[in-house]
Structure 1
Amino acid sequence: MVLLYNTALFFLRLGFRFASIVHSKANAFVKGRKAIIDKIQLAFKNNTAPVVWVHCASLGEFEQGRPVIELLKKEYPTLKILLTFFSPSGFEVRKNYKYADYIFYLPWDTASNAEKLVAAANPTVAIFVKYEFWYHYSKALKSRNTPLISISSIFRPEQLFFKSYGGFYRDILKNYDYFFVQNDVSLKLLKSIGIDRCTIAGDTRFDRVYAVVQEGGDILIAEKFKGNQKTMVVGSCWLEDLEVLTPMINEDKLKFIIAPHEISETFLQTIEGAIQVKSIRYSKAGDKNLDEYQVLIIDNVGMLSRLYKYGEFAFVGGAFGKGLHNILEAACYGVPIFFGNKNYEKFQEAIDLINRGGAFEVADYVDLKDKFEMLNVPSTFLLACDVTRSYVTENLGATEKIIQYCRKLLK
């Protein structure tokens, strides 16, 4: 099985090299790993401080690791953080993250790379986020008796770990010292294969999102645009989301704040062309009488988490495509949340909020309209608001549970 694993990674690596010729993301993936082990060895050459290694696949997992990193740095100022990413979408966005001392792409999971990285960094603790289970890295850490923990991890019955032929993958999990899982299903699955070093801590994203919302300031243009009218904030909007929303927008009964997933001129013009009511881009709204406009189009990045406060309703995009985007930011403000009905089921918070009556998956405009009109009943609307708000506060505290464990290892 080790041979098959190594062979699969070899062909995956080869595939990225071919793809890098024509694909910018694959090119960044390959270029970022050139001489990567040499760079890591050089970076740690004179380090004498204790190191915590935090590994994230991409940007979403980084947001789960982030509150742990920042609390560790607060409590242990001399501690060095090694932060690694598998994907360019994480590395390229966070390569200058101020709370990490060393930031690199994760070298390919070979026995040689794993031994060299672990020897060079010599971490006191390694923290891998969510789905990151690498054979050679976990083995190298275990051979040096370096504690390896998994945080915000989530497991499903269909994963290879839980199949009769999944012994090799179960052995990877056995190299981990502790699992902080998100839910009871994950806990029971681990225990079913003899792994008892686990506990339900929840998802650290709750702590991160709640902190961001608490720290966030006002957005005066959004406040002026909203006025005293009911507003729906559309976050991370894709074309498929826009197609469902457009008929509702054109009814001219609500104001809409639309934050596209990608801020490209092409998509901004697509939005403007699809809607029949009067719209304005954020960048041009400063000196305008915003009472005249029904749609505010956000043509910048970085303010979405603060925009949801200006809505009575939220629609979060992505679920008609590759996957639902972050709904917790909207939930923090206690608003009913809508999203597509296709790719949301791997997000525990989406399932929980649907079951509790705070979120609504929709198939198309007609479905959206029907579920939206349900909320015209004041008791239903207030229940949905209370559900989303309380769901966030109930799930705070995962970061502190993880830090309590780390404190014992960092004495």
Structure 2
Amino acid sequence: MPHFLYTLLLFVALPFVPLKLLWRGIKQPEYLQHWGERFGFYTIKPTKPVIWLHCVSVGETRAAAPLVRTLLAQYPQYQLLLTHTTPTGRATSQQLFGQEVMRVYLPYDVPFAVRNFVKYFAPRIALIMETELWFNLIDACHRQGVPQLLLNARLSAKSAKGYAKLGGLVHKGLSKLALIAAQSHDDETRFKLLGASNTMVAGNLKFDATAPADSKALGLQLRALLGTQRVVLIAASTREGEEPMILDAVQGLDLLTVIVPRHPQRFDEVEALLKSRNIAYVRRSRMQDSIAPNIQVVLGDSMGELYTYYAAGDMAFVGGSLLKFGGQNLIEAASMGKPILIGKYTYNFTEATKGAVQSGAASQVRDVQHLREKLQVLIESPSKREKMGQAALNFSQASTGTTVRMMHTIGEYLQARG
């Protein structure tokens, strides 16, 4: 696709953006805020040279936490700017880093907006998490001499096929990136085939993320409310259509299931599902005392408590994997030493899933019936749960070190810019 055609299509779509924001604002009022930022207009002003880090949403922001902490510690002479695309990503940044960083929305990828952004903040370096490829933004940074590093970069075979259809647009865009630090050799190979010239394999930054210091203590408090008489399953980061499948899998099992939807705007939708099935449930936000023995499901309708949920549970199912969503991050569950079950659709986390399965930390399931069978085995075998949990902990600890490798590379580019 020619670059001018890409830009033209974005301009054609631009008048409909306010309607999209208004529509999304019905469920998430936060989408009605900071509209100016989405078009490249900002009010906050940096007081020091800027290191810019882009984290599109919650997962990328949490994954970047060890990198953010290290950047703040090693480069106090710089202002750290975090950009996001979603309100939940922005809220996660506020929760994790407070006033230690600046945070704004990344503008839409139209030339005037991205040019305003780059000129206004004048970053010394651009650090982009995972697979955020916006070609006008890449071009604006390149013209201003801002080195762009794609960090924790991943590219599934499916996504690579999609990008390949864009032809020269992608090839030219990738060639303007100073570096692509891929999660795995397979990711690196796919980027190279699309035209990337400067690449390395740095590993997965998410393995370096550490649970909040109070996670275990808070997990024990939550477990006291959940009770100790039943095995507790944490079904985390579930996506649309998966909750009915999980409920089918756990029906009749001696198990308390905690369902934590991936997106907070779906909390009410999942509650409606539980009501329609006449399932005894309680929302996490309304738990004051120990739950009643007849409760079958706890709806995890809170933000920022995933580590606490894992700490309170006996085993984990990681969502986004029973249906074709590509899977969600299993590393958090592994770092808390929990046995992990995950579906077969894990193309967004191929290497992490493969490593977890090979190490004995995780087991993949084909469908609802297979999930039910695996759950039954773990319910009946505390020793199996313990063995898998220890394997998960070992797997997590053996995969750290990405932050150090990335900081070394970032330091070289900052030094080169003076």
| TM tier, smaller | 0.7 to 0.9
Unmatched segments (≥5 aa) in structure 1: none
* TM superposition shift of 1:195: 4.0
> CA 1:223–1:330 in 2, change beyond 3 Å: closer, same or farther?
farther
Counterpart CA distance in 2 for 1:351 and 1:283 is 35
* TM superposition shift of 1:182: 0.5
Residue number among 374, 392, 396 corresponding to 2:396 in the alignment: 392
Q: Within 5 Å, which residues of 2 pair with 1:137-148?
A: 137-148=137-148
- 2:58 maps to 59
Counterpart CA distance in 2 for 1:313 and 1:390 is 16
Counting matched residue pairs gives: 405
Contact 1:213 1:305 in 2 (8 A): no
| Residues 1:336 and 2:344 aligned together | no
Contact 1:358 1:387 in 2 (8 A): yes
* TM superposition shift of 1:169: 0.8
SS in 2 for 1:259: strand
TM-score, normalization by structure 2? 0.81
1:115-134 C-alpha deviation (Å, 9 max, x unpaired): 33222212111111111122
Structure (1 or 2) with the larger CA radius of gyration? 1
Of the structure 1 ranges 1-10 and 360-369, higher mean CA displacement relative to structure 2 is found in: 360-369
Counterpart CA distance in 1 for 2:257 and 2:291 is 16
Counterpart CA distance in 2 for 1:174 and 1:203 is 23
- 1:86 maps to 85
- 1:350 maps to 353
Of the structure 1 ranges 18-27 and 368-377, higher mean CA displacement relative to structure 2 is found in: 18-27
Counterpart CA distance in 1 for 2:212 and 2:126 is 26
Counterpart CA distance in 1 for 2:40 and 2:156 is 37
1:83-130 C-alpha deviation (Å, 9 max, x unpaired): 222334433554675255432222222333333322221211111111
- 1:131 maps to 131
* TM superposition shift of 1:356: 4.7
- 1:24 maps to 25
* TM superposition shift of 1:14: 3.2
1:211-231 C-alpha deviation (Å, 9 max, x unpaired): 437755333142353326432
| Residues 1:170 and 2:174 aligned together | no
Counterpart CA distance in 1 for 2:110 and 2:283 is 49
| Residues 1:34 and 2:36 aligned together | yes
Counterpart CA distance in 2 for 1:53 and 1:406 is 12
Unmatched segments (≥5 aa) in structure 2: none
Counterpart CA distance in 1 for 2:32 and 2:281 is 42
1:307-335 C-alpha deviation (Å, 9 max, x unpaired): 21233321233334545333222122222
SS in 2 for 1:131: coil
- 1:77 maps to 76
Counterpart CA distance in 2 for 1:52 and 1:207 is 20
* TM superposition shift of 1:171: 1.1
Q: Within 5 Å, which residues of 2 pair with 1:9-408?
A: 9-20=10-21, 22-24=23-25, 32-34=34-36, 39-40=41-42, 42-44=43-45, 47-91=46-90, 94=93, 97-98=97-98, 101-158=101-158, 159=160, 163=164, 166-192=167-193, 195-208=196-209, 210-212=210-212, 216-219=216-219, 220-223=221-224, 225-227=226-228, 229-237=230-238, 240-247=241-248, 249-261=250-262, 262=264, 264=267, 267-268=270-271, 270-271=273-274, 274=277, 280-282=282-284, 285-288=287-290, 295-320=297-322, 322=325, 324-341=327-344, 343-348=345-350, 349-375=352-378, 381=385, 383-408=387-412
* TM superposition shift of 1:293: 5.4
* TM superposition shift of 1:184: 0.8
Counterpart CA distance in 1 for 2:136 and 2:346 is 32
* TM superposition shift of 1:74: 1.8
The amino acid of 2:15's aligned partner reads: L
> CA 1:294–1:9 in 2, change beyond 3 Å: closer, same or farther?
closer
The amino acid of 2:136's aligned partner reads: H
Counterpart CA distance in 1 for 2:173 and 2:29 is 29
> CA 1:264–1:108 in 2, change beyond 3 Å: closer, same or farther?
closer
Contact 2:336 2:393 in 1 (8 A): yes
> CA 1:290–1:162 in 2, change beyond 3 Å: closer, same or farther?
closer
> CA 1:102–1:37 in 2, change beyond 3 Å: closer, same or farther?
farther
> CA 1:105–1:95 in 2, change beyond 3 Å: closer, same or farther?
farther
1:365-399 C-alpha deviation (Å, 9 max, x unpaired): 42222233454567765553344222211221212
